[in-house]
């Protein structure tokens, strides 16, 4: 005679309750993430609409779509297609790229100061672009290519000098590299003639004004190719936050982190090549998105936060002071510098020492 063993009902009930608890715990962060992304998307839509439709010359929504469809409306068509819309589109694309780049740096290196602004990537792009304009006589896409090479070159130098360390050592090396490239910019600026002075100033401050549609299309194509690849490699980004040893134990190699840093450098480089070094956007976007998302990293939220920051700053810079058009980099710098001081004052400069 054989006895049939049956699982205890208590154990089955406990397992079901545990599964329900896990599902409930996962639904909360997902719901918050969707709310954050949705709210930032709405803010971006409102900021973009205000930048395109409002201002000194108001364009109605029907006229906007008529002009996009090819209608010739005297005055409105030129203002929309040659001034308002290209500035808004470039600000949106540059903000997306800088927001993602900042989040990649800060999360991979586990330090909120590790943004392309702080470690000299932006200034490296600007330095070589200014040299190309003032000393080599380059213009157009060749200057943009020089900016990309400058950004990648400074990033490689900083990484090689800092070694495998993240944290404060990489930040200090980056600050030193930024100071060196800044001295190059200041020297070259003394050699520039009046004709190229405006171009040089654009590379020093960051501006979305006066950029043609061909440059915007190239930036859009570059982001369309780079952002999906970056998202693919960034699937393990949260595991990388646990540290190199823990990430390796969970099957995430350090090479993936290096690829994410390279992706961040390239995203920053193409943005700077199109719009110049827009200050502190990479630095601001990540903390804003994490704060809204309860401290969790979100690349999509950082991208949207960066785009909202640049589009809004461009609108403010254009209309804050009557008859004065401030470059967008001036506005973002005025906002980002106090935030940096506040972050330093609170001591939240990193999760670990180098």
Which sequence spans correspond to the domains of the chain? Answer: 36-345
CATH code of domain 36-345: 1.10.3470.10
Instruction: Report pLDDT for 352.
Output: 42
Length of the chain in terms of residues written: 354
Residue 120 CB: number of other CB atoms within 10 A? 27
Instruction: Report pLDDT for 350.
Output: 46
- Tokens 């299309």 belong to which residue? 217
pTM: 0.86
Instruction: Report pLDDT for 118.
Output: 80
Instruction: Report pLDDT for 332.
Output: 92
In terms of Cα–Cα distance, which of 170, 208, 204 is closest to 186?
Answer: 204
Contact yes or no for 200/134 (Cβ under 8 A): yes
Contact yes or no for 81/71 (Cβ under 8 A): no
Give the Cα separation of 308 and 327 in Å (integer): 16
Please, what are the averages of pLDDT over each run of 10 residues along the chain (354 residues)? 53 60 65 92 96 90 90 87 93 95 87 80 88 83 88 88 71 86 84 73 80 90 93 74 57 69 90 89 90 86 95 92 85 84 63 40
- DSSP for 318-335 reads HHSSTT----HHHHHHHH
Give the Cα separation of 77 and 66 in Å (integer): 9
Angle at alpha carbon of residue 287, lines to 281 and 293, rounded to 5°: 130
């Amino acid at each position: 005679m054989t006895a049939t063993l049956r699982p205890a009902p208590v154990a089955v009930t406990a397992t079901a309750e545990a599964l329900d608890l896990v599902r409930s715990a996962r639904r909360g962060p997902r719901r918050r993430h969707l709310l954050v992304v949705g709210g930032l998307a709405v803010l971006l839509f409102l900021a973009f609409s205000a930048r395109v439709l409002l201002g000194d010359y108001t364009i109605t929504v029907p006229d906007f779509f008529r002009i996009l469809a090819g209608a010739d409306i005297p005055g409105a068509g030129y203002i929309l297609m040659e001034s308002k819309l290209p500035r808004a589109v470039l600000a949106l694309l540059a903000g997306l790229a800088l927001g993602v780049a900042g989040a990649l740096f800060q999360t991979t290196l586990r330090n909120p100061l590790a943004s392309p602004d702080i470690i000299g990537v932006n200034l490296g792009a600007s330095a070589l672009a200014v040299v190309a304009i003032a000393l080599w006589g380059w213009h157009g896409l060749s200057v943009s290519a020089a900016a990309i090479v400058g950004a990648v070159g400074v990033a490689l130098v900083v990484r090689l000098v800092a070694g495998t360390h993240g944290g404060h050592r990489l930040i200090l090396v980056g600050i030193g590299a930024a100071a060196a490239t800044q001295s190059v910019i200041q020297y070259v600026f003394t050699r520039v003639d009046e004709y190229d002075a405006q171009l040089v100033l654009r590379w020093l401050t960051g501006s979305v004004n006066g950029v043609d549609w061909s440059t915007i299309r190239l930036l859009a194509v570059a982001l369309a190719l780079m952002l999906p690849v970056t998202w693919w490699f960034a699937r393990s980004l949260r595991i990388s936050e646990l540290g190199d040893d823990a990430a390796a134990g969970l099957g995430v190699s350090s090479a993936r982190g290096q690829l994410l840093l390279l992706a961040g450098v390239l995203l920053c480089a193409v943005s700077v090549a199109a719009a110049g070094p827009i200050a502190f956007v990479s630095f601001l976007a990540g903390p804003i998105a994490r704060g809204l998302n309860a401290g969790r990293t979100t690349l999509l939220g950082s991208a949207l936060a960066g785009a909202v920051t640049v589009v809004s700053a461009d609108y403010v810079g254009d209309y804050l002071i009557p008859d004065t058009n401030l470059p967008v980099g001036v506005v973002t710098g005025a906002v980002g510098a106090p935030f940096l001081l506040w972050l330093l004052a609170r001591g939240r400069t990193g999760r670990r020492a180098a």
